[in-house]
Amino acid sequence: MRQVILDTETTGLNPATGDRIIEIGCVELMGRRPTEKTFHRYVNPERDIDEGAKAVHGLSREFLADKPLFANIVDQLIEFVDGAELIIHNAPFDLGFLDNEFALLKRPPFRGLAAKITDTLVDARQMFPGRRNSLDALCDRFAISNKHRTLHGALLDAQLLAEVYLAMTRGQEDLTIDLIDYSVGIDASGQALALPTDLVLMTASNEDCLLHEKILSDIAKVIKTEPVWNRAKATENN
């Protein structure tokens, strides 16, 4: 399924009191891999920006004064997200603002465009109950560099969230065990066939071993507990 990571920046916290979207950033994934396609627009909200919000994203009314209105970019946004699975951190916040913008234009709710909506904040709270699960905290937990993130920005945050989402959902699809065809030793009647005798024995190179150790080290940093393979090695050494 095509997936779109989405983030917004706003004038404040509540669309019900008149706050508006001022920035939208989207990143496309196909087959769990980032493509070169992104969507990024600044939007003129035609209103002031709360000082608290401005301190988060650094966007001013003066900067946004010559940017298009939401009505002028809505069709481009629809084209980019329509039919995709939307992946959003704290989805009710962004969807509430997007639905409000669509309502102001007398259009059906934005969320209806999505084939599926995944909230990574909900998923993170299930994976790490009782811990901080902000985007910054998750970047730190999964060893994803966000040093260049001095202020929030919709496209930058969407790009970071894409990395976090892939790290959170990395599973057996990364292992080559699923590529093995176990049916090669069975005939049409279900009887076992003789295995070939010309099998090639392949051993890991030094480079393969170093890469393997790096992957184990990265996993250990994420889980922040003593990995089971380290405990097994310690038992063997004793």
Q: Annotated active-site positions, please?
A: 152
How is 163-176 classified by DSSP, letter by letter? HHHHHHT--GGGSG
Rounded Cα distance between 196 and 214, Å, is 35
- Judged by DSSP in three states, 113 sits in helix
**Phi-psi category of residue 190: left, alpha or beta, with phi > 0 → left and psi -120 to 50 → alpha:** left
**Spatial distance between the Cα atoms of 58 and 79, rounded to a whole number of angstroms:** 28
Side-chain half-sphere CA neighbours of 220 within 13 A: 12
| Identity of the amino acid at 201 | L
Block residue for tokens 């970019």: 73
